[in-house]
Chain A
């Protein structure tokens, strides 16, 4: 049986160490093991007697820390290691090596004192009872987390208000839409007022309006409750609207940690200039203009190094009669795409000794 914790006392202890980070991860590694299987029946037969073990480094020497109350976004393509990392921080997975402290606890020790203070919501899994109305699942979570009835009522009312759930409470979960279900999932995991919240793809598969609602709820919740939120998503908008700080992860390693705005400054060295000409031009571009992406009789698009933007604009305005000229920033989405494409050779990636993101034969040393 688990040890009975005293949440109140724990909270007090933690309050004393307020300058302590809410989440502190140092050199965390996770290597998965699998067996190679050749295709076909013959392969299966061979594999039955002799198997080759393959290793995949899902998370490679990841380090970062979060202050209490921060809302941080985790960006990365599928299979980058985001979910694996969240699972380790929730105590579902043991790491292969490395350390992590969340609210002063080591997650994979699964201390009930920690479990009462965090929550993980996975967009693709549901924890609500399928045939019962969500209100029943809420009641059960109240009992599992040992939430005081009065506090429970209060918290629930508050969230019903925020998410506009009143009519959904008594409808069986199986009859709810995906968006409605996601709202209820969020409520179910926030009833015990966690201090740390992990959200794994909370808006996946939702329509634009539902996404928007979930997003604004997360934002409000984080601001009001000062809950530390770590959010993964591959929808850029989630991150753009919610997070000041982002961690970009690719091939198991963190390739960027900082603000979204400086992300584009750092990775994009050019700007895009769009021109509409006042008079018809020749169909082929004059040879003395560089960086042309598109050129026709009426429009042109140029990709110009940042430091040359002023000079090029000046030249363009002098050479042509121009009706409209705009200098545009590259979309964040484009920035991320570039990082993902080039990150194996990116300077921040220090673990390039094996073919990243592939199953390999040897476990390999971790730094």
Chain B
């Protein structure tokens, strides 16, 4: 078990350095990516600045607290690109062209292989860095900021990453039936886009929908709640359970779909 863990660490390192070398070849692309990321994050911030010019709080969240939510989404996106996201973006192409075959014959877990094959530092780096700046800026302007909340904030970020991964696994598994993945990727993109609104704006059915069916309301709000001093045991427990359920279901559908690919492709 420990051996396996080490092996996958080493494999990650190896894949990471290969991907980095690959990205370095396209320097212009790299610069444009970062520029676009900064631009769109700024658009987001301006949107909230205008909104908060008219009202004091949204769902009980002040402007600076909301910046922490927006920033957290950026950080989670970058973490996702560093671990698994881009592999799912490419999955449709792999399945369509049959290049996915290699992932089934290599002595390595298929899901890990797909994830590692395209780990990317730079794809979302601009958004990640902007996220860090926003979270730092928001945190500095809080009335009740405590340093002790930072490690818990980080833990919940990882938990959100697990929810995101589980969701991606479930949605992307459909690729093996649909072969086309464009729509699925768009769906996952909007999933993360709705994460930047505070969870407290939803009520009743909407809240249930964005918690259990499409758990995007938990992604950024839970870590941000901790950092802004609203430690809420129920919310944390809810996030952790949703992460567990989504990961389990995600892995289950993934395995089932792999079997479908194996018996259907030619």
Say whether B105 contacts A120, CB under 8 Å: yes
Say whether A33 contacts B104, CB under 8 Å: no
- Asked if B11 is at the interface (CB within 8 A of a chain A CB), the reply is yes
Segment of A70-78, A87-95, A223-231, A306-314 engaged in the interface with chain B: A87-95
Supposing A110-B104, A125-B99 touch, asked if A93 and B109 sit within 8 A by C-beta, the answer is: no
Supposing A33-B264, A125-B98, A131-B22 touch, asked if A92 and B3 sit within 8 A by C-beta, the answer is: no
- Please give, as numbers and ranges, the residues of chain A lying within 8 Å of B101 by CB-CB distance: 87, 90, 92, 120, 122, 125
Total A-B Cβ pairs within 8 A: 83
Supposing A1-B8, A4-B4, A108-B262 touch, asked if A144 and B107 sit within 8 A by C-beta, the answer is: yes
Say whether A146 contacts B7, CB under 8 Å: yes
Supposing A2-B107, A132-B21 touch, asked if A143 and B266 sit within 8 A by C-beta, the answer is: no
- Please give, as numbers and ranges, the residues of chain B lying within 8 Å of A119 by CB-CB distance: 105
Q: Give, as a whole number of angstroms, the nearest-CB distance from B219 to chain A.
A: 26
Complexed CA–CA distance, A118 and B104 (Å) = 12
Complexed CA–CA distance, A33 and B221 (Å) = 46
Q: Which B-chain residue is minimally distant from A142 (CB atoms)?
A: B14
- Asked if A256 is at the interface (CB within 8 A of a chain B CB), the reply is no
Q: Which A-chain residue is minimally distant from B22 (CB atoms)?
A: A131
- Asked if B18 is at the interface (CB within 8 A of a chain A CB), the reply is yes
Interface positions, chain B 23-41, Cβ under 8 Å from A, are 25
Q: Which A-chain residue is minimally distant from B112 (CB atoms)?
A: A1
- Asked if B140 is at the interface (CB within 8 A of a chain A CB), the reply is no
Say whether B107 contacts A115, CB under 8 Å: yes
The prevalent SS among residues of B at the interface is: helix
- Please give, as numbers and ranges, the residues of chain B lying within 8 Å of A62 by CB-CB distance: none
- Please give, as numbers and ranges, the residues of chain A lying within 8 Å of B11 by CB-CB distance: 143-144
Interface string of B144-175 (1 = CB under 8 A from A): 00000000000000000000000000000000
Q: Give, as a whole number of angstroms, the nearest-CB distance from B62 to chain A.
A: 44
- Asked if B263 is at the interface (CB within 8 A of a chain A CB), the reply is yes
Which residue in B98, B108, B259, B265 is a CB contact (below 8 Å) of A144?
Answer: B108
- Asked if A136 is at the interface (CB within 8 A of a chain B CB), the reply is yes
Q: Which A-chain residue is minimally distant from B266 (CB atoms)?
A: A32
Q: Classify chain A: how many residues form its interface, as a range.
A: 35 or more
- Please give, as numbers and ranges, the residues of chain A lying within 8 Å of B265 by CB-CB distance: 92-93
Q: Which A-chain residue is minimally distant from B97 (CB atoms)?
A: A125
Complexed CA–CA distance, A1 and B8 (Å) = 9
Supposing A92-B101, A115-B106, A116-B107 touch, asked if A132 and B18 sit within 8 A by C-beta, the answer is: yes
Q: Which A-chain residue is minimally distant from B23 (CB atoms)?
A: A131
Interface string of B91-128 (1 = CB under 8 A from A): 00000011101101111110010000000000000000
Supposing A125-B99, A140-B18 touch, asked if A94 and B10 sit within 8 A by C-beta, the answer is: no
- Please give, as numbers and ranges, the residues of chain A lying within 8 Å of B97 by CB-CB distance: 125
Which of B3, B15, B22, B263 has its CB near the most chain A CB atoms (within 10 A)?
A: B263
- Please give, as numbers and ranges, the residues of chain B lying within 8 Å of A110 by CB-CB distance: 104
Say whether B18 contacts A94, CB under 8 Å: no
Say whether A94 contacts B102, CB under 8 Å: no
Which residue in B21, B98, B109 is a CB contact (below 8 Å) of A2?
Answer: B109
Supposing A2-B108, A110-B104 touch, asked if A136 and B3 sit within 8 A by C-beta, the answer is: no
- Asked if A139 is at the interface (CB within 8 A of a chain B CB), the reply is yes
Say whether A90 contacts B105, CB under 8 Å: yes
- Please give, as numbers and ranges, the residues of chain B lying within 8 Å of A90 by CB-CB distance: 101, 104-105
Which residue in B3, B10, B109, B264 is a CB contact (below 8 Å) of A143?
Answer: B10
Q: Which B-chain residue is minimally distant from A192 (CB atoms)?
A: B107
- Please give, as numbers and ranges, the residues of chain B lying within 8 Å of A101 by CB-CB distance: none
- Please give, as numbers and ranges, the residues of chain B lying within 8 Å of A1 by CB-CB distance: 4, 8, 109, 112
- Asked if A258 is at the interface (CB within 8 A of a chain B CB), the reply is no
Q: Give, as a whole number of angstroms, the nearest-CB distance from A222 to chain B.
A: 20
Q: Give, as a whole number of angstroms, the nearest-CB distance from B13 to chain A.
A: 9
Supposing A93-B265, A94-B259, A116-B107 touch, asked if A143 and B14 sit within 8 A by C-beta, the answer is: yes
Supposing A92-B101, A140-B14, A143-B14 touch, asked if A112 and B107 sit within 8 A by C-beta, the answer is: yes
Complexed CA–CA distance, A94 and B99 (Å) = 17
Interface residues of A (CB under 8 A from B): 1-2, 4-5, 32-33, 58, 83-84, 87, 90-94, 96, 108, 110, 112, 115-116, 118-120, 122, 125, 127, 129, 131-132, 136, 139-140, 143-146, 172
- Top 5 A-B pairs ranked by shortest CB distance? A115-B107, A112-B107, A143-B14, A94-B263, A94-B262
Seed contacts A93-B263, A125-B97; 11 additional CB < 8 Å A-B pairs: A1-B109, A32-B264, A110-B104, A112-B108, A122-B101, A125-B99, A127-B99, A129-B18, A131-B22, A131-B25, A132-B22
